[in-house]
């Protein structure tokens, strides 16, 4: 986060990420009262974390 935020004076993170919020406040950022809204098309999907197996795209090597 330090490297990314060294190049920009704005960042967006989920408000539930309390570690990131605390880190950014400690290095001088301030929280703004604006809030983003997730946009979805159609019915919301049910979150099933047991279905996540890997973050790689299978195109390694």
pTM of this prediction exceeds 0.75: no
Residue 12: the pLDDT is 83
End-to-end CA distance of the chain: 28
pLDDT category of residue 3 using cuts at 50, 70 and 90? confident
Reported as type and span, the H/E element at residue 3 is helix 2-6
Report how far residue 26's alpha carbon sits from residue 49's, in angstroms, rounded to the nearest whole number: 32
- What is the pLDDT confidence band of residue 1, given thresholds at 50, 70 and 90? low
pLDDT (tens digit per residue) in 4-59: 667 777 788 888 888 988 988 898 888 888 877 777 788 888 888 777 776 666 66
């Amino acid at each position: 986060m330090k490297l990314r935020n060294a190049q920009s004076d704005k960042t967006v993170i989920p408000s539930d990420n309390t570690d990131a919020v605390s880190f950014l406040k400690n290095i001088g950022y301030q929280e703004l009262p604006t809030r983003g809204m997730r946009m979805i098309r159609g019915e919301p999907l049910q979150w099933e974390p047991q279905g996540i197996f890997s973050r790689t795209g299978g195109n390694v090597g």
